[in-house]
Chain A
């Protein structure tokens, strides 16, 4: 290797100082690591490392505190929005974010999620939707698509047996307490850039004390989906995005232009491609 080219003046990209040097435990191909990175970069770029407190409950990201070089709290399954509520209310000058999976945020923690959003808590919630319970070995999540196989829907999710998938992000957009609601992905460089801009906007909403900012990141769980990382990204594009369309849903406290009101009120069951 031409080690002589590794010089400060040739440096074009570095790890942000808001991430530690710890080796991440995430599976290769998983979206969690990239999502961490863009959040850390935003914290760095906004110069708020000394004011930020993160909260991650159980799920694959339970050890997020090993990677973010900010004060951090690990929370019980589903309870991060309640935990974050109190951190922010008692320490109004801090920047508080939660980092939650779909099982956490949209199943066991649904009440905490909806009420923190409805109170308009001035926090950022980052929601990693991989349509599955990654950590416990790939069971059905509230966001698992109809027809999608998981450890507890081995023949595919069925509405009559398992009920409908939950589009909680659209639901949250209808609440007056949310100011910015968006859905992003981190599977291509272009999407990473967009997702980072969304995270930045979310932290700015918190800085300007406007209410709750919610960033869903549709993410692959190649291990849980039992695919290679490349297959998983393709499957995500073909199946997840049609049901979980990317883009802003609510901006500046108003439903974003071009969002079909029907998507917010009624929706056909979210289904894998037939």
Chain B
């Protein structure tokens, strides 16, 4: 399929981008609000065109471990779910990170805790960026704010995943997953040939030819001194991500006195709030973190030198705000405004919060 302009849902964009980006396998389990990912894949039958394998697993425990098995053979394997399913996947995610297996996982966040609601939320920020599973590991976390980014980020995610041998999480929410927007599709990237796989994933376990040592995929190391060295290696990798892979967008920040910090759906709301504010003569800007890990801390710190205050807007009780505060290091007032449980705030109430909490 060549470049085209199409109207599609965010979830559909993820599925179509998986096929177009040369993904080898998808394993999933239905959960609202992202079931359209697997539904689109099953309707598209990519196994008849690109050869991509698609399988409905018996649970998220199984699907993330299918990702583990398949991706550990050096293939591009992905899954998607929503908050309760991602909680089940956290065991698998720490094993994937611990065994250094590249893969792509999408979370269309819904309101929690527990079964919560099927409406959109952003309350899995901590789970996504601070662990979720056990141990000192990090996922590379990207937060799309449009259907187009849902599509494009799948391609970028594969590059990062294989560059760092690390799982990538595309952290979105039910609103972006469900909304329909126009989206430019891309030319298909063919799936890797066996030769390309050998080159790009020489560590993969697909059967040991006579001329190489066996490849072992494991996260086990019983000898503490070696386990510490391995952890240091992981930390070096994460430090390199912080140096080289931070992504963000700044809108109207050059002259801004007051800055919204928001990602995903919240950033879309803040764009409108900013427009209303500017029309009122208020110098308001927006910093939109695109990577939540690594977090654009340097950018926050820079902005904190010249702005008078920041309002962090999240569909949560206040999670990312902790990273913003850490980065700003008490230079200026930082406040949080949040709705949760599946409520999306209006641009007007967000601006009002800025006026009351920051501008005063």
The reply to whether B206 and A71 form a contact with Cβ atoms under 8 Å apart is: yes
Across-interface contacts of A45 in B (CB, < 8 A): none
Query: Among the listed stretches B10-18, B210-218, B235-243, which one makes contact with chain A, having 4 or more residues with CB under 8 Å of it?
Result: B210-218
B206 touches A94 (CB 8 A): yes
Residues of A within 8 A of B206 (CB): 53, 71, 91, 94
B207 at the interface (CB under 8 A from A): yes
Q: Which of A65, A84, A93, A112 is close to B218, meaning CB atoms less than 8 Å apart?
A: A65
Contact A90 B216 (CB under 8 A): no
CA distance A73 to B95 in the complex (A): 11
- Cβ–Cβ contact B207 & A52, under 8 A: yes
Residues 213-227 of B contacting A (Cβ, < 8 Å): 214-220
CA distance A72 to B72 in the complex (A): 10
What residues on A are CB-neighbors of B65 within 8 Å? 75-76, 79, 82-83, 86, 112
In whole angstroms, what is the CA distance A72 to B335 when docked? Answer: 50
Which of B54-62, B172-180, B343-351 contacts its partner?
Answer: B54-62
B33 at the interface (CB under 8 A from A): no
One digit per residue, 1 when the CB lies within 8 angstroms of any chain A CB and 0 when it does not, for chain B 186-228 equals 0000000000000000000111111000111111100000000
Q: List chain A residues, Cβ under 8 A from B72.
A: 73, 83, 87
In the complex, how many angstroms separate the beta carbon of B216 from the nearest chain A beta carbon?
5
The reply to whether A79 and B73 form a contact with Cβ atoms under 8 Å apart is no
Q: A75-B65, A79-B65, A112-B65 are in contact. Are A85 and B55 (CB under 8 A)?
A: yes
A51: B residues at CB distance < 8 A: 207
B106 is an interface residue with CB less than 8 A from chain A: no
Contact of A82 among B24, B25, B53, B61 (CB under 8 A): B61
Q: How large is the interface on B (under 10, 10 to 19, 20 to 34, 35 or more residues)?
A: 35 or more
Question: Contact: B205 with A112, CB < 8 Å?
Answer: no
Q: Is B75 an interface residue (CB 8 A)?
A: yes
Q: Across the interface, which residues of A come within 8 angstroms of B69, CB to CB?
A: 55, 73, 75, 82-87
> Chain A contacts of B217 at CB under 8 A?
72-74
Q: How far is the CA of A52 from the CA of B63 in the complex (A)?
A: 22
User: Are B218 and A87 interface neighbours, CB within 8 A?
Assistant: no
| Cα–Cα distance between A157 and B92 once the two chains are bound (Å) | 32
**How many residues of A are in contact with the other chain, CB < 8 A?**
34
Known: A85-B55, A90-B53, A111-B62. A71 touches B205 (CB 8 A): yes
Task: Check: B246 CB closer than 8 A to any chain A CB.
Answer: no
- With A76-B92, A85-B69 as given contacts, are A90 and B207 in contact (CB-CB < 8 Å)? no
**B70 touching A49, Cβ below 8 Å:** no
Q: Quick one: which of A28-71 are within 8 Å of B by CB?
A: 49-53, 55, 62-63, 65, 68-71
CB distance from A250 to the nearest CB of B (A): 22
A94 contacts which of B61, B63, B207, B218 (Cβ < 8 Å)?
B207
Q: Could you tell me the distance in whole angstroms from the C-beta of B13 to the nearest C-beta in chain A?
A: 24
A63 touching B220 in the complex, CB below 8 Å, given contacts A55-B69, A79-B65, A82-B65: yes
- B295 interface contact, C-beta 8 A: no
A85 to chain B, nearest CB (A): 6
Q: In whole Å, how far is A60's beta carbon from the nearest beta carbon of chain B? A: 13
The residue that A75 contacts in the complex, of B27, B68, B77, with Cβ under 8 A, is B68
Shortest C-beta distance, B302 to chain A (Å), equals 42
Residues in B47-100 with C-beta less than 8 Å from chain A: 53, 55, 57-59, 61-63, 65-73, 75, 77, 91-92, 95, 99
A89 within 8 A of B: yes
A90 to B24, CA, bound (A): 7
Choice from A72, A84, A111 contacting B216 with Cβ under 8 Å? A72
Give Cα A83 to B75, complex, Å. 13
Contact pick for A90, options B58, B62, B77, B214, CB 8 Å = B77
Quick check: B59 and A111 within 8 Å, CB to CB? yes
Most chain A CB within 10 A, of B67, B91, B214, is at B214
Tell me whether B61 and A65 are in contact (CB under 8 A): no
Contact of B220 with A74 in the complex, beta carbons under 8 Å = yes
For the complex, what is the distance from the CA of A87 to the CA of B55, rounded to whole Å?
A: 13
Enumerate chain A residues within 8 angstroms of B57, measured Cβ to Cβ: 82, 115
Q: Are the C-beta atoms of A70 and B214 separated by less than 8 Å?
A: yes
| Contacting residue for B210 out of A50, A71, A84, A89, CB 8 A | A50
A194 to chain B, nearest CB (A): 28
CB neighbours (8 Å) of A86 from chain B are 25, 27, 53, 55, 65-71, 77
Bound-state Cα–Cα, A72 to B208, Å: 9
CA distance A84 to B208 in the complex (A): 16
- Contact, CB under 8 Å: A71 / B25: no
Contacts of B210 in A (CB 8 A): 50
CA distance A220 to B53 in the complex (A): 40
Name 6 interchain pairs, CB-CB below 8 A, sorted by A.
A49-B208, A53-B205, A71-B205, A79-B65, A82-B65, A91-B73
Q: List chain A positions with a Cβ less than 8 A from chain B.
A: 49-53, 55, 62-63, 65, 68-76, 79, 82-87, 89-91, 93-95, 111-112, 115
> Assuming A79-B61, A79-B65, what are 8 further A-B pairs, CB within 8 angstroms?
A65-B214, A72-B205, A75-B95, A76-B92, A82-B62, A85-B66, A87-B70, A90-B53
